Amino acid sequence: MEIATVVKANGGYEADRRRRLRRLRCSVKDYAWGKIGSDSLVYRVYAANSDQPIDSTRPYAELWMGTHESGPSYLEDDDADGGSDGRNAEIVDC
């Protein structure tokens, strides 16, 4: 089956675009009980998926996904090249 047939069967381009994986920009919490810098899995995941400054001297305790006001997550919009620039991110309820 050709890709055009599959896309059309799924409701066209817009339906296909909504169903694909998209980058989620999450929040991190740095509670005192977290592990410091790269010793923390939270730090390593956040560092690999964030364009935010990473402080390797902070304790990283939790990676938050959802809409909590003190740590919301954002779904990043795609730019024209199919990449993600994060400028027009929308909040996501996971």
Digit-coded pLDDT (tens) for 43-92? 999 988 887 788 999 999 999 988 899 999 888 764 434 444 444 455 65
The domain segmentation of the chain, as residue ranges, is: 22-91
- Spatial distance between the Cα atoms of 51 and 81, rounded to a whole number of angstroms: 18
- Spatial distance between the Cα atoms of 21 and 40, rounded to a whole number of angstroms: 25
For residue 83 the two structure tokens come to 């990449």
Q: Is the pLDDT of residue 28 over 80?
A: yes
Assessment of whether the complete model's pTM goes beyond 0.85: no
Q: How many CA atoms lie within 13 A of 79 on its CB side?
A: 6
